[in-house]
Amino acid sequence: MSSPFIDKTAIKGFYVANGMNGHGFMFVPAIGRYINEIILDNHYPFDWSEFSVGRDFSQPELLK
């Protein structure tokens, strides 16, 4: 199991918030708020690298 993808993509105006397995329903209020900040303000509210589309997959991910 890995962290979800919540990020903008290389395609202009295309954002993703997926890969949350069964936890998505529980996370959606916070994810909606944060993806809104990313889309409207281009502002990441905290270190977002764990959820980046371009993160490093050369090592297995450890869930925190």
Q: Answer whether residue 64 is part of any domain.
A: no
Q: What is the pLDDT of residues 47-60, one digit of tens each?
A: 988 889 888 888 87
Domain residues for the domain of 22 are: 5-51
Is the per-residue pLDDT at 1 higher than 60? no
Number of domains in the chain: 1
- pLDDT, tens only, 23-52: 778 888 998 999 999 999 988 888 988 889
Res. 7: pLDDT tops 80: yes
* 56: Cα separation from own chain's centroid: 14
Read off the pLDDT band of 11 (50, 70, 90): very high
- Amino acid (1-letter code) at residue 35: I
pLDDT(2) > 80? no
> Does some domain include residue 56?
no
